[in-house]
Structure 1
Amino acid sequence: MSLATYITKRNGSARYYLRVTIPSDLIEVYGKREIWKSLRTASPTEAKAQAPAILAELQDEFSARRRGREILADDIGAIAWERYSRLVAKDERLRDRELTENELDQLWNLIIKEVGEEDHEAWRIYQHIRDEPERYRKTRAALHAALTSGDANKVHQAVSKSVERELAARYAKVEAGSSIHRKVANAVARADVEFLKRATERDGMDWGGVPTDPMLKREQKPKHAVAGSRIMDLYGQFERNKGATKKADTNDQNKKIVQLFAEFVGETFPVSELSRRHITEFRDQLIIFPKMARQVAEFRGMKFKEIIAKNREIGRKTLDERTVNKYLSAVNPFLRWLSSNGYISAPILTDDLYNAIDTEARKYKVFTSDQLKTLFASPLFRGCQSADEIHKPGNVEVRDWRYWLPLVALFSGARLGEIAQLLVDDVRQIDGIWCAYVTDQGDDEKSIKTKNARRVIPIHPELVKLGLLKMREAQRKAGHKRMFPEIKVDARGHWGVPSKELNKYIDRIGLKEKKLVIHSFRHLFADRLRLAGHLDRDFGFILGHGDKKAGITGHYGSLPQGTAKRRLKLIQTVKFEELDLKQLYLDA
């Protein structure tokens, strides 16, 4: 696959990176010639898909830095305080990492046990860790000597790079030698001097020191922004500038989450004063924010902090870390827009602020052979008491979506929502082979999870024997547009009802087990393909994973992964020999 020259790999890394040359007029601002951004994938197609958006963000950043931001007199104290705070915090982190002689011995023993005593790289790593405190002390000593030398040239040389970094972080364009530039340099030097005092005090185990320089006082910042420049005011401008890039429901949900963030920091809080601290604290508060809060009567009319306080009384379940990350992701595009347009000095929501998620722990369980037998020998498939009591044995045959969706999921690996939204016209022939088209076309209520989800899935022969095509023809003759007209989207336009109802059915017939849900069919389908001898890269496109899972892309209509006949051959290798479904067959 041909990749753009700016998509590359670093030596020793399997992942792709975006490598961008900094424009010549901004090299001095950045202090380097290139920017490397990890694309977090080893797949060339996934890297190719992700790179344009990240490149666009960098171009926005370059534009913002060229526009520059004026440094006001009020900013000088903030620069000094923020720099001092960062240096003191870094000092604390470095001290936490300092190892005793015994701990260093234990570290070396672990290293040689892992890689061997003769490994040069291991020794280099050990030396780097061992000598870090001494290097830190020497750096401090050199800085102290320069700043207290009384020599203006030495002071300037000691802080010049730091001054440029502080200005660059704020996208500020300040002419060297100007009055403002000198004031920023003075602020940086004074912050560094106060930091060195704290570091020296800490060397003597005095951790109570506070700044005595009058410039370094936590500023009493204004609490209110004028109308038109508040968070939600600017969010409206963001929506108009960026346009509706997602489904209307997604845009609406994102706006509600940004509203929660505004309520947290204060709806009249000045946007220019937003910082990483606000994001960190918002993230930590979301962990104790109740699920579905807007739908709970007890929280009606309440703001973010009031909801949290009320929930301490009623004890509803709160957001998990994965959902918190989704909330942060909803806020992030707006925050990037604020940064690119100069409303805040630098990006404040970076990757390190997201919760670390154990992806292995999230995996769904797969149905065992015995569980499959139990499910497909249950009343829904063999005769139930009534259409309302499908979990109880009887002689009533139910052949609506509740019967068909598990069977189609079992033999297609499709997502439940993809099956639920199928139109009658989505099931049609290609070169004489019946296939299901998974698309977001043909109906306003249809949607797909990702662009790779748009695909063509041949109908498994077992589904033909079970009568799926006859059911399709019956729906067509009845004038129905959908394969399963009984299923309706929920209030948010999602196809979540089938999943909820079928998961409840699984529980009622005795298969209740954590992480065993109707979506487990999708994972089971992948396992059966592997059992048939296929590698993940050979079938990812059938599941709609694209290169992230398969190294191949499946697109609606073009069949880049082979003809319908070849796809059918792949599908036919999925077998469930432990199941006896012959009693459910209809004449083909």
Structure 2
Amino acid sequence: MKSSRQRKSDYLWHRPNTDAIWFSRAVPKRLWASEGKRVIQKSLGTTDRREAQALARRLASELDQRWGLLPGTGTQLAQARAPLDHELDEAAVVLGYELPLTDADAGRRTLAGKGRHMYQAHVNYVRSDLEEQIRATATGDDALVRDLAAEAMAAFGVELDRTSDSYRELVDRLNGARLANLKAQHARNMGELDVVVASPVVERVRQRERDKAKPGETLLELFDKYADHRLAEDGKRSDTLAQDRKIIEQFAGFVGPDRSIQSIKPEHVREYRDVLRQLPPKWSERTDMRELSMREAAAKARAHDLPCLALTTINKHLSTISPLFAWLIEERWDVANPCTGLHFKRVKGKNPRPPFGTARLNAVLASPLFTGFQADGKEHRPGNMRANDWRYWIPMLCLFTGMRVGEAAQLRTEDVTQHDSGVWVIDIHHKPEKGQTTKAGQSRATVAHSKLVELGFVEFVEGRRSAGGDSRLFPELVANERDQIGAKPSEFWRDYLTRIKIKAGRDGLGAHSFRHELADRLRDEVGLVDDQVAVALGHDQKSTTAGYGTVRQGTVKFLAPAMEQVRFDGVDFSHLTA
């Protein structure tokens, strides 16, 4: 008698001590709760194999419809991803160890009263199965677990290529689980009825069960509480926290999404860091890696000798995970910070934010966007078109006021006014309800350099006012998914500077270089020290005195003469004012 679980890809099962052929199929994990079981088993009421196959196909099709595994029935097979490591582990243990061992225990009890010879035949059969499984496990042969692999793939709703890494990993796990199952069967046949055979894959699943988080205490659930806390105390912006959450989500997927916070140790963070190091930039957006797990993508990147993530990027990941644990410690959770000491040391960013300098700034101002370009989308080619929109005015605003790209992109006509002293003032508002935000979370004013007025900025604003309707200076700009309205101008200027041969690779040049150019001019031509430059560019100075009173740092009285003393020595604006 064969008591080890035998399963065909057509879901037929010859249940021990029954004549009729049975249907047996694993339930997808996401449906365990709703189905109330992990495997569907049903007698097909026939001993004829052909009839059983037809009945099994009909039952499988009904389950496919019910579970949404067929195209056109709510399935997501077109977007199927490779199973994660912990999912492969669980499938292997359920199909290769737990279910067959339960069946084996039940089958062995049916031999009561059948005599010594029947029992010895059963023992010999299991021993033979065990010897075959030892060979298959040692050689990586999938012959003995191919049907179980098919069942697992059906449960995942994916079809893995037999040459893929994911299929090979599934087979290795199934072989390991089935080997442990047969060892346990053999030991129990010899009278050790409570024996539990050690196996790496089985132990990993059992450890995950022990390490499983309580409801409401998964990594992502705790991060959401942390994010609410940070928002409430104005510690971080919502768009920054949204990006942080993506990192936590990736980390959770790596260590196990339902793992308890207490079970995450430094070795898990170290492994995450080391796998990150092997990945290429923006790996999850690559079409050839989009469906791969982190470990699979890293292996593929190594095989193809792809560029690696920068150490600064990896440190950013750790600097996102670490504050969550630091907050949990503050909240008196019984945890230690597993990121401590794992950041790469003495790592400096290789992507600075430099100013243009006189020569490059002149080259930019003499390029087609400022002298005449061919057409929209071809601003780098000479022609007769002129820009009178965000492409032209945002860099001018950054250069002549020092505001950030995003702050310039969100301006409204009512934000530009003339001060009693005659200077033009631009209010940079932090009003999230109107789609206006600042990095510091506070409104401030800046003063327009007279050159900006000379170039026609005020006339441009008046033209937008007279047009009526939307009061935004640049209504064609729309915020991206991170709610950043300056994303499009930033991307445009990186691309444009590359096309006109000013920018080369990751040199840091971009729209922000106009703002940084003003910073250098304030130091060199006006003689401001860095604290004063910081105030002129909208950086609050953190000091005891800064907390006194209600007047904002950087008054018009301070800013107006400072800005006007910037001469822009050596820069040719003549063709812009002609």
Query: TM-score per shorter chain, which class?
Result: 0.5 to 0.7
**Counterpart residue number, 1:441:** 431
Q: Distance in 2 between matches of 1:508 and 1:356?
A: 36
**Counterpart residue number, 2:498:** 507
Q: Distance in 1 between matches of 2:425 and 2:547?
A: 14
Residues 1:413 and 2:402 are matched in the alignment: yes
- How far is 1:382 from its partner? 1.4
**Counterpart residue number, 1:235:** 220
Structure-2 change in CA distance of 1:242 and 1:442 (3 Å):
closer
**Counterpart residue number, 1:482:** 472
**Counterpart residue number, 1:462:** 451
Q: Where does the alignment leave 5 or more consecutive residues of structure 1 unmatched?
A: 1-218
Return the letter of the residue paired with 2:220: Y
Residues 1:543 and 2:537 are matched in the alignment: yes
Q: Distance in 2 between matches of 1:557 and 1:430?
A: 20
**Which of these residues, 334, 345, 366, is aligned with residue 377 of structure 1?**
366
Alignment RMSD (CA, Å) = 3.3
- How far is 1:505 from its partner? 1.4
Q: Deviations over 1:357-386 (max 9, x none)?
A: 554855333323222222112211111222
Classify the secondary structure of the residue corresponding to 1:546: coil
**Which of these residues, 278, 285, 292, is aligned with residue 275 of structure 2?**
285
- How far is 1:234 from its partner? 4.8
Q: Assess if the C-alpha contact under 8 Å between 1:428 and 1:435 holds in 2.
A: yes
- How far is 1:296 from its partner? 2.9
Q: Distance in 1 between matches of 2:523 and 2:294?
A: 47
Q: Distance in 2 between matches of 1:294 and 1:444?
A: 33
Identify the range of structure 1 (262-271 vs 569-578) with the bigger mean alpha-carbon deviation: 262-271
Q: Distance in 1 between matches of 2:512 and 2:335?
A: 44
**Counterpart residue number, 1:526:** 519
Q: Distance in 2 between matches of 1:405 and 1:557?
A: 30
Return the letter of the residue paired with 1:580: D
Q: Distance in 2 between matches of 1:496 and 1:369?
A: 26
Q: Deviations over 1:517-563 (max 9, x none)?
A: 33222222111111121111222112123336x9985999833444x
Structure-2 change in CA distance of 1:389 and 1:345 (3 Å):
closer
Q: Distance in 2 between matches of 1:509 and 1:303?
A: 39
How is 1:562-573 mapped onto 2 (pairs within 5 angstroms)? Answer: 562=555, 564-573=556-565
Classify the secondary structure of the residue corresponding to 2:411: coil
**Counterpart residue number, 2:195:** none
**Which of these residues, 542, 560, 567, is aligned with residue 575 of structure 1?**
567
Classify the secondary structure of the residue corresponding to 1:250: helix
**Which of these residues, 326, 342, 365, is aligned with residue 353 of structure 1?**
342
Residues 1:422 and 2:415 are matched in the alignment: no
Structure-2 change in CA distance of 1:256 and 1:512 (3 Å):
closer
Q: Assess if the C-alpha contact under 8 Å between 2:411 and 2:472 holds in 1.
A: yes
Q: Distance in 1 between matches of 2:548 and 2:470?
A: 27
Q: Distance in 2 between matches of 1:326 and 1:346?
A: 20
Classify the secondary structure of the residue corresponding to 1:260: helix
Q: Assess if the C-alpha contact under 8 Å between 1:439 and 1:447 holds in 2.
A: yes
Equivalent pairs: percent with the same residue? 32
Q: Assess if the C-alpha contact under 8 Å between 1:552 and 1:561 holds in 2.
A: no
Residues 1:327 and 2:317 are matched in the alignment: yes
Structure-2 change in CA distance of 1:463 and 1:556 (3 Å):
farther
- How far is 1:441 from its partner? 1.1
Q: Deviations over 1:478-524 (max 9, x none)?
A: 22321112222222222222112112212222323433333222222
Classify the secondary structure of the residue corresponding to 1:457: strand
- How far is 1:569 from its partner? 0.6
Q: Assess if the C-alpha contact under 8 Å between 2:425 and 2:446 holds in 1.
A: yes
Q: Where does the alignment leave 5 or more consecutive residues of structure 2 unmatched?
A: 1-202
Structure-2 change in CA distance of 1:395 and 1:446 (3 Å):
same
Identify the range of structure 1 (397-406 vs 257-266) with the bigger mean alpha-carbon deviation: 257-266
- How far is 1:437 from its partner? 2.1
Q: Deviations over 1:153-196 (max 9, x none)?
A: xxxxxxxxxxxxxxxxxxxxxxxxxxxxxxxxxxxxxxxxxxxx
Q: Distance in 2 between matches of 1:568 and 1:393?
A: 37
Q: Distance in 2 between matches of 1:559 and 1:309?
A: 53
Q: Distance in 2 between matches of 1:471 and 1:283?
A: 50
**Counterpart residue number, 2:40:** none
Classify the secondary structure of the residue corresponding to 1:476: helix
**Counterpart residue number, 2:31:** none
Q: Deviations over 1:9-54 (max 9, x none)?
A: xxxxxxxxxxxxxxxxxxxxxxxxxxxxxxxxxxxxxxxxxxxxxx
Return the letter of the residue paired with 2:530: D
Q: Distance in 2 between matches of 1:469 and 1:388?
A: 26
**Counterpart residue number, 2:58:** none
- How far is 1:467 from its partner? 0.9
Classify the secondary structure of the residue corresponding to 1:447: coil
- How far is 1:462 from its partner? 0.6
Structure-2 change in CA distance of 1:546 and 1:345 (3 Å):
same
**Counterpart residue number, 1:143:** none
Return the letter of the residue paired with 2:534: G
TM-score (norm 2): 0.56
Q: Assess if the C-alpha contact under 8 Å between 2:311 and 2:347 holds in 1.
A: no
Return the letter of the residue paired with 1:518: A
Residues 1:388 and 2:373 are matched in the alignment: no
TM-score (norm 1): 0.55
Q: Assess if the C-alpha contact under 8 Å between 1:455 and 1:554 holds in 2.
A: no
Q: Distance in 1 between matches of 2:377 and 2:427?
A: 31
Q: Which has more radius of gyration?
A: 2
Q: Distance in 1 between matches of 2:282 and 2:465?
A: 39
**Counterpart residue number, 1:584:** 576
**Counterpart residue number, 1:58:** none
Q: Distance in 2 between matches of 1:264 and 1:442?
A: 35
